[in-house]
Amino acid sequence: MRGISKDLIFNDVDSKQYLNLLSALPLFRVERGILTLLYSERSEKILNAIHSRYGLWSDVTLQFTNPSDIAKQLKEKESVDAVILLEERLAGFLLSKMQAGYTSKMDIINYLKIAQETLQEMQGKWFHVEPLEFWTQNVLALVGKAQNLLNSLPDGLSLLVVFSGDEIWTSLLAQKTKGKLTRITTISIPEIQRLRISDWRSEYKQILEQVKEKFGKVSFGLFMDSETFKFLLRSNRPQEFLQKARREEQIIINPTPTLFTFRM
């Protein structure tokens, strides 16, 4: 099975570069206003509510109707980014499905996919999100994107470098062996860290050389600036976005692996 090796090595990671990467992921934008409600289908009550910024939230005075309608009304009324409604039995159901679906060959992404599929199955029944895109494009999409990205990477070394101003904003170097991810790091090589970038479109080759010297030949290299990277992460159609960006020279792919199909 493809995925992540149990013996994955994750070291020599530059914390600043790594935190930049995390901060770009939608999941880690913690300042969003999300209202989460627990409701009981049996007693037709909202049992509890919590606001992601303000904590326990006792102002839910809506008449209990259809949970989807409640989600829509609250989204409008409270001006929050998203409203999530969970039926009281959902958590237990979800966890039992995940544990029942576990096999010893699963990596964490495959395991989370069981949760993803269960939540999709329960969407509109015990699980309601308004707007739906909040879920599909953020939390839900992240698992799918991570798996697609993992599957897309060729064996060998893959390198992502994102530039901002005259420095490397974030980078990732991933080693894949026999279809499994075996190592993750950033390119914290002193020679590279000392580089002052004036034109990354030409200077990226120096980085490739340094990486080759320390880690070996790169099979797939992807270079871009931080703005393009953030657009890419938010894109619904990353493959098309990448193709267009490549045509417009907003990104550089070098080397390009054979039979490369990049899906996110």
Partner 1 sequence: MHSTTTESEAVEPVFPTLKIENKVLVVKGKTLPLYSGGFEYWRLERQRWKMLLERIQRLGFRIISTSLPWSIHEVSPGNFDFGTLDERRDLDSFLTLCNEQDVQVLIRPGPGINVELANFGFPDWVVKDPAIQARSAQDTPVVIPAGPSPFPFPSYASTKFHELVSNYLDILCPYLKRHISTDGPIIGLQIDNELSIPFMNGPFNADYSPGSIRWYHDFLQKKYENVEMLNEAHRTRCSSFEQVTPPRALIDREREALPRYLDWVEFQEYYISRALNKITSLFWVREIRGIFTFHNTRNATPKLPLNVIQVERELDIQGAGLYLGCKQYEQIRKGALYLGATSRLPFLVEAGMGIWPWGPPLNPEDQQYALLVGLMHGFRGFNIQMLVERDFWLGSPISRLGQRRDKLYPFLNRLLDVLETIQFSSLSRPVNILLLHNLECERLQAVAGSANYVTDFLGIPPELLVSENSFNFTNTIQQAYPTFWEALYMGLSRTKIPFQIGDTNLNLEDLSKYKVIFLPTYDFMSEQLQEKILNYVEQGGTAIIGPEIPFLGTDMRTCDRISETCKLSVQSPRRPLIGFSSILRIVKNEVKVGRRTVGMVASHGKGKIVYLGISFPIIDNRGDAVEIGEMLTYILQYFGQHPQGDTKSPSVDEVFLGIRGTRVIFLSNSTNQPQSIGIQVSQRIKFNDAWTGEQLEGRGSREIPLPPYGIRILEVRR
Say how far apart CA 73 and CA 80 lie, in whole Å. 11
Considering only 29, 41, 43, 193, the residue that binds partner 1 (CB under 8 A) is 43
Position 99 contacts partner 1 (CB under 8 A) = yes
Q: How far is residue 90 from each of residues 11, 40, 45, 133, measured CA to CA in Å? A: 37, 10, 15, 20
According to DSSP, residue 59 is labeled -
Position 19 contacts partner 1 (CB under 8 A) = yes
Of 101 and 154, which has the nearer Cβ to partner 1? 101
Q: Interhelix angle for 15-24 vs 226-234, to 10°?
A: 40
Position 63 contacts partner 1 (CB under 8 A) = no
Position 151 contacts partner 1 (CB under 8 A) = no
Considering only 26, 64, 72, 98, the residue that binds partner 1 (CB under 8 A) is 98
CB 125 to partner 1: min, Å: 16
163 neighbors 207 (Cβ within 8 angstroms): no
Position 104 contacts partner 1 (CB under 8 A) = yes
According to DSSP, residue 259 is labeled T
CB 156 to partner 1: min, Å: 19
* Residue among 182, 181, 159 nearest 171 (CA): 159
- Phi, psi torsion values for 255, nearest 5 degrees: -75, 155
The secondary structure of 112-173, three-state, reads HHHHHHHHHHHECCCEEEECHHHHHHHHHHHHHHHHHHHHHCCCEEEEEEEEECCEEEEEEE
Position 6 contacts partner 1 (CB under 8 A) = yes
Stretch of 73-81, 99-107, 191-199, 228-236 contacting partner 1, by CB under 8 A: 99-107
Position 100 contacts partner 1 (CB under 8 A) = yes
97 token code pair: 């499905």
Position 62 contacts partner 1 (CB under 8 A) = no
172: how many CB neighbours lie within 10 A of its CB?
Answer: 18
Considering only 71, 82, 86, 245, the residue that binds partner 1 (CB under 8 A) is 86
- Give percent helix, percent strand, percent coil of the chain, each to the nearest 5: 40, 25, 30
Of 173 and 251, which has the nearer Cβ to partner 1? 173
Considering only 41, 44, 76, 95, the residue that binds partner 1 (CB under 8 A) is 95
Return residues touching partner 1 (CB under 8 A): 4-15, 18-19, 22-23, 28, 30, 36, 38, 40, 43, 45, 47-50, 55-56, 58, 86, 88-92, 95-96, 98-100, 102, 104, 106-108, 111-112, 181, 184
